[in-house]
Structure 1
Amino acid sequence: MHETGRIFAVDLFCGAGGLTYGLEAAGISVKLGVDIDPNCAHPIEANSGAKFLQADVASLDHIEVGKALSGGGFTLLAGCAPCQPFSTYSRAAKQKHGEKAGNGRNEDWRLVEHFGNLIQKVQPDLVTMENVPPLAQQDIFKVFLDKLEGYWIDWKVIECHSIGLPQTRKRLVLVASKLGPITIPEFDLPRKTVRSVIGDLPALIAGEQDPNDMLHKASRLSGINLERIRYSLPGGTWRDWPEHLRASCHTKESGATYPSVYGRMAWDSPAPTITTQCFGYGNGRFGHPKQDRAISLREAAMLQGFPRNYSFIPAGESVSFSKVGRLIGNAVPVTLGAVIGDFLKQHVLVYEHASRRLLTE
């Protein structure tokens, strides 16, 4: 018998725990977070009720997953297979080296297939997968869907700003259920801006770290980049700079197509998509709207929906921009996890209500 409304979950490719934390906020009990990266152990176990398992999903024992999901609740297998193979950067890199960026069968996307294999073996009541929109055009997506035989399925691309995340981030979300038909609704939740999320954090200068929050740390700026950011307007481009500050790449035809590089965010708009390199002023529109610096790691995390006190590294450990930036940029936004969790909870309640009604008729 299932415990009324209770959902037990395993989060594959859990990363820093954005999906886990969001699902738990919706009332779903995440029992296990699985990732090959040992750096994910602390954020998962310090911020959620889940245990962390360092493992490669490709060789993960489905019996271990099944044990984690036992206990009388409905079962959910969730995850976001690493999406770098389908990113714009990755496709461009392949083309540069003469490789095909299309649908060829290679190791890049094998983790999506391994996820599907685990679903077939574990047979959870519910499945959710989050990934980049270009996945839908890949052959592997059809392979994945074929592995969901016996499930009702729906998927759509969600603009994250429409669910209350202060980011212009689009994500493909898939849900599947053995309980009954399932349809992802249209979302139009209150919009958030950069100001509404990070506007009250203490001011920093480039290279400074808040003594009360080690993650509120801004990267250093070279002399020329400090001069550049002082000429940068919120929401503007490098075209706002004097000629002598423009980089040589900006004078090339290819450089003209990247206007947001070295840009500032705008206070009253959403942030751009937060990436693993979001702490660097030259890596995108990651300049602070007002202060002459790139956004801090804490600001990046909050723009991903993480609460202000979320712990990414153990107390006393020095803050590495590359390590923490990777954890933050690769995370499923917490807000998206919470919305998916709320939706799945409602789906289970509708199913239970319908089942009780049939029993009493």
Structure 2
Amino acid sequence: MVDLDAEEPRSIIEPQRPIDFFSEPFRSAKKLLKKIRGASRKTYLETAAVVESLAEAHPNLSEEELIAWLCSEGRLSYREAVGHARFRSHMSGFTEQVDKLDLNVDVVQHLLVADKATQAECLLRLAQGDTIDYPAINDIYKRNRAAARSEESLANAARSAAMRQAADRCRVRLERGAAELVAMFVKLQAKHAVIYENDSDENGESGWFETQYDLEDKKYLEAVIGIQEAAATVLRHLEALFGSEHADRADILEIALKDDFQASVALSWHALVDLSAGRFAGYDIEPWSDDPRRLRQCIEFLAGSESGAVPLRTKRKVKLPVLPSKSLRMIDIAAGIGGTVLGLESAGFHPVAAYEFSLSARKLMDENYPAVSRPQMDPLVGRYQFAPFTGKNIGLVTSGTSLKHFSLEPRAGRLDPSYDNFGHAVNAIRTVSPSAFFFEVDPRINNQENSKFRRHVETIIEELGYDIRWSLIAVSRIGLPQIDPRLVMVGMRDGRIRDLEIPVMIEPVTRTVVDAIGDLVSSHIIGDDKDSKLRLDWVESWKAACADKLAPMIVNWTPHAPASDEWANIFKIDIGKYTSSRPTSEEIADPAFRLRLTSAMLARIQGIPDEWSVTGANGEWHRDLIETAVPPVLAKLVGFAIFSALTGEKIDIQKSMSEPLRQPPPPVKKVWFGNRYAGRRWSVEVPEDWSPRNGLRSFRYISDEAAQIADWRATWKGEDDHPLDAATSTYGN
């Protein structure tokens, strides 16, 4: 049995330069080895088919009996017998994929003992062009196994491990005392809380409720004293275990970023000090209390019913962040309408310049992203236009439009730099020397007639000190309603390309054409004529025909390609023409009627959000700007991979790709602070989820940790200025 937990030594021998790997001996050897590997794989699959037929003919035959027969009568080794027996139960449904993806037999053997999630991810990675070998399978297996454990179970495991280091007897007393204290909280609320309805407040707002406690009631005061005494006892148990010196409240979130347990203990110590001194009222210890001291959560943590006392958002060790914690600098050499800028910003890259030749595109960038510098691309200047960024620590060079027209020389008579994007890309890399670069490339570069140009570009870039990786990204799995994969070229310096791992979406985010533009088509066809049966019927018929369909290649890539017929025959769309006018009833009644897309529909198919403007002030728009735009979600996915390879920071890709590219401002709630006897009362507005006010809710990302710490420190800034009264609580509803 193959042990996926075992480490396999792996040495990487760098060839001595110069070696021409494209010479005839290497090409011939590559073809021969591929042929031999194919024959080996064919033999393996044929043997697997024979074994499967035996198992089907004898359904009562156990796996052990089958393996024994294969060894004794079939003359297979034990490892081969086990592999073929398990192939039937584990991977018989993937026979076609094993053959198509050019897998070697050794990789298949390792996949056989992997779990289903690891098998699925490996096959997806192979489909997008990644190399899968034993170490890669092992890494994926270990990551999936770790990810299978829930956040809560990891947090509880960490808490239990830390608690076991203390004396068991003190731990039991601490937990038991804390549980009794929680029960006293519940009893206080059940017996002494009174909810009052207020007719109106000082602002004239009515219909709201407030919980009140009779602070003069003798039984209430006795219950409060009982809580004080119980809290003092629990405090002694806690100090016996963890000491009596703990960080100030203002510093606790910084501690939580490194050690949740230590931060929770410190916050709980402060809570017990306040409780034992009587600095609380009934509403401060209710489950829904807005008291920032988190009194009840702290005691529940000590009792073992909560895995932590600090806000859950600080649990960095058990929960990967959805957004990067910092930004790297990037420049865009052909921004277009800014799709790459939009996607990469949410992946941790801040644009310092977005070059663009088109005046229309620059006007749209002025509207969509006024904060970024937008120098005009000058095709006559060449490489020198990028000189201001030489030595400026640029993390990434990219292009907002795809690279096409396979030449490094400008086309005669054409000043549009999109006809020389490859040349500008090479010039930018040579001049700026970024840590990495990323470009989407016309997939026809993989055609045989363009192989010489591709090798030429690779040689030039490699001589500049970069390693290159080509990847086919299945964009249909990241929310783009397109069936064809996108080809991307990524390059990195200093051997970092080995750390690059383009994510695959095991749980894909899928959108069909109807999901993407269905509402726009309905509005465009029906409009205000909601009673028109002709228009309603056409829309319903169109939605039914396209319900589960993904869009074919956008025609701009390949004019006169069969994709045009697919658009017309399956989607009833004339992809070669666009419109901003509604069709007439006479046009719709014609059986040959084909819908023409609007700018908004084309933008949706490209994954550009509605709030990102693609039309000018007068409604004019240029189809090429949208058709050649790099989809923002593609830029975001590849950007995450590059960011992680450059910084070592891991991101929750699955969750992040489900998040919108632009996040709206959060709803806020009002938290009241006050001294009931002094008559002072003030309020603070905070997000309902206590998340930072900044971040990607605007475009410029601010460190999540830094924003949380700033909010937390602001809450406790006045604690020393307004000392808590020993007899009453300073915190209220």
> 8 Å contact 1:44–1:51 — kept in the other structure?
no
Any stretches of 5+ residues in structure 2 without a counterpart?
Answer: 1-324, 413-418, 529-537, 548-559, 582-587, 651-733
Alignment match of 1:56 (pick from 378, 381, 385): 378
Shift of 1:279: 5.2
Equivalent of residue 129 in structure 1, options 423, 439, 448: 439
Residues 1:6 and 2:327 are matched in the alignment: yes
Counterparts in 2 of 1:335-354, with a 5 A limit? 335-350=633-648
Aligned length: 279
Verify the 8 A CA contact 1:9 1:29 in the aligned structure 2. yes
What pairs up with 1:25-104 in 2 under 5 angstroms? 25-48=346-369, 49-57=371-379, 59-62=381-384, 64-68=385-389, 74-79=394-399, 83=403, 85=405
Whether 1:187 aligns to 2:487 is no
Q: Distance in 2 between matches of 1:194 and 1:113?
A: 35
Amino acid of the residue matched to residue 491 of structure 2?
A: A
Q: CA deviation at 1:112?
A: 0.9
Correspondence 1:299-310 to 2 at 5 A:
299-310=601-612
Deviation above 6 Å: which 4+ runs of structure 1?
Answer: 103-106, 228-233, 254-257
1:85-128 CA distance string (max 9 Å, x none)? 47xxxxxxxxxxxxxxxx99883964313321331122111111
- Is 2:333 aligned against 1:333? no
Aligned position for 1:262: 568
Percent identical pairs in the alignment equals 20
Please identify which structure carries the higher helix content. 2
In structure 1, how many angstroms separate the alpha carbons of the residues matched to 2:629 and 2:575? 9
Whole-angstrom distance in 2 between the partners of 1:57 and 1:106 = 8
Contact 1:276 1:330 (8 Å CA) reproduced: no
The CA RMSD over aligned residues, in Å, is: 4.2
Distance 1:13 1:275 in 2: 25
1:359 alignment partner in structure 2: none
With over 3 angstroms needed to count, the CA separation of the structure-2 counterparts of 1:275 and 1:22, relative to structure 1, is farther
Contact 2:503 2:637 in 1 (8 A): no
Compared with structure 1, are the counterparts of its residues 105 and 117 closer, same or farther at alpha carbon in structure 2 (3 Å cutoff)?
A: closer
Look up the equivalent residue of 2:600 and give its one-letter code: R
Highest Rg: 1 or 2?
Answer: 2
What is the rounded CA distance, in whole Å, between the counterparts of 1:57 and 1:82 in structure 2? 17
Contact 1:276 1:327 in 2 (8 A): no
Higher relative contact order (CA 8 A, sep 6+): 1
Shift of 1:161: 1.0
Assess if the C-alpha contact under 8 Å between 2:391 and 2:433 holds in 1. no
Preserved CA contact (<8 Å) 1:229 1:293 = no
Matches within 5 A, 1:184-333: 184-185=501-502, 187-188=504-505, 189-201=508-520, 203-205=522-524, 234-235=545-546, 259-263=565-569, 265=571, 277=577, 293-314=595-616, 317-320=617-620, 323-333=621-631
Q: What displacement does 1:143 show? A: 2.1
**Secondary structure at the counterpart of residue 566 of structure 2:** coil
Shift of 1:38: 0.9
Contact residue 513 and residue 546 of structure 2 kept, 8 A: no
Q: C-alpha distance in 1, partners of 2:610/2:479?
A: 16
Q: How does 1:9-20 map to 2 (within 5 A)?
A: 9-20=330-341
Partner amino acid, structure 2, of 1:127 = F
Amino acid paired to 1:335: V
Give the structure-1-normalised TM-score. 0.63
Q: Match of 1:342, as an amino acid?
A: F
Would the aligned equivalents of 1:155 and 1:173 in 2 still touch at CA under 8 Å?
yes
The 8 Å contact of residues 77 and 128 in structure 1, kept in 2 or not, is answered as yes
Q: Which has the higher strand share?
A: 1
C-alpha distance in structure 2 between counterparts of 1:169 and 1:257, whole Å: 11
Q: Are 2:456 and 1:152 aligned?
A: no
**Contact 1:206–1:292 (Cα < 8 Å) also in 2:** no
Distance 1:125 1:326 in 2: 30
Q: Give how far 1:305 is off.
A: 1.3
Deviation of the 1:292 alpha carbon: 7.6
Change in CA separation of 1:205 and 1:124 when aligned onto 2, cut-off 3 Å: closer
Structure 1 residue ranges without an equivalent (≥5): 87-102, 210-227, 237-253, 267-271, 282-286, 353-361
Q: Measured at CA, do residues 172 and 59 of structure 1 come closer, stay the same or move farther in structure 2, by a change above 3 Å? A: farther
